[in-house]
Chains A and B, each alone.
Chain A
Amino acid sequence: MKPTALSLAAIAAVIVTYIRAIFFTPLEATQGPAQKILYVHAPAAWVAFMAFGLVGLTSLIYLWLKDERLDRIAESSAEVGVVFTTVVLITGPLWGKPIWGAYWTWDARLTLTLFLWFIYVAYIVLRGAVEEKEMRARYSAVLGILGALLVPFIHLSVYLFRTLHPRPILMKPSAPSLPEAMLVTLLLAFASFTLLYTALLRARYRYAVERDNGQNDGMTHAG
């Protein structure tokens, strides 16, 4: 199977981001090298939230239009979102240990993100458990919408609760609080991870289309 131009561009962009982050971005004075985890942790979180936001949106429209393409987009985005959330949940503790002295703390941001991961793992399990196509799409659309409602709470949790997790340095109303060299790397990381998400979403969607076409052909032959 040949890789698409989009997936090659995504791989190249992520490699360039890694090289810039490792070799051409200055170290932060107080946190040291561990601060460079920012360039994989924050963009992965952004992509995960975007992925689950898309699940919520397409699920909502699916319940209205009953178009199975929307269900496929939701299914694909949820799975890719779980992959990015897994990266967030692993890189976060690896950053927390040297800075906070602990891999994990049950503060609002971390706990809600873990809940979000559980919800979308449950979403994937639910899709595997229900055989009837329309029922599966309807049930998972409801769960997909409810899960997406957590996303704004997670983003705002650092303002609503007293948490160890720092507040956003980019996604906030005021100017970004980073020196220019670090800001450029972070913006590049956001762009390349978004491209990677798009490539993975497309590949996962194409898989879903081929699988459904195969099932339809099978039903036609059986009939």
Chain B
Amino acid sequence: MIHVENLTRYYDDFCAVNGIHLDIQKGEILGLLGPNGAGKTTTLRMLTGYLQPTAGQIRVQDLAIGPDTLEIKKRIGYLPESAPLYHDMIVYDYLNYVADIRELKNAQKLSRIHELAQLCGLSSVMHKTIGELSKGFKQRVGLAHALMNDPEILVLDEPTSGLDPNQIVEIREIIRKIGREKTIILSTHILSEAEATCDRIAIIHQGKIVADGSTLSIKQAAGRERSIYITLEGADFDAVRPQLETLAGAVGIEKLAPSGAGLLDIKISVSSDADIRRDIYRIIRQADWQLLEFRQESQTLEHIFRELTLEN
């Protein structure tokens, strides 16, 4: 559906995006992750035809950015970061204006605006000026703006930045609802959000893609260790340690700060192929310690993200 090849963008001497390749399938929700200044917004701005690429190609279906930019703009709905809209306009007037520019017919217009007001939860603020809305509502107006002509492709730049936890959940729900039929590209630096909403993740660092794939495949590629956390009562670390060290898969055993009085918290690092949970449980049962907590965690996305983006 979208094919990006060798996309590069310079701001004067500064290279913001450096030779990105991306293929986005129809119906996919792609999350662009990266630290601030990694080139996410620049990439999205080029995808939506706002910025000219310095080099490289973007194809949307059978159209290319450059000669067919106008046609591509008609197929893409875009919500820029922090939804910069006309502050002096009333929400309804603004949506009406967008509908006009998007060439909606008069008969459709009213029902479409009504529909979007329902979907984005705007019904109660239709008569207010955009400038007096809270950030969450502004973001929703921006979302309604992006969805106006029911576009096949939706591009969202940090759709949840600066929102409170309730609003984040609401916006995510809207995105997931829309995402069933549409191709969505969203950028974020909140990792849990990417994990929760996206089918696929691309991590950008210094203008290059350093990882690309589903959350699972990125985690597997990063591979290495999983960790097992256990909390015991009535046990002594010096007694526990030698027992656990006998296990083949346990690479490292570490005492953590106790989570309560008389408790012992241990982190066991495990090499990825071995499953030693049964063995650990057997040891604990034989020793007559009280087991209060037992969980396994694979490499978190945070961890992978930091490793990929912290170099130099």
Answer yes or no: are A and B bound together in one complex. Answer: no
A residues engaging B (CB < 8 A)?
Answer: none
B residues engaging A (CB < 8 A)?
Answer: none
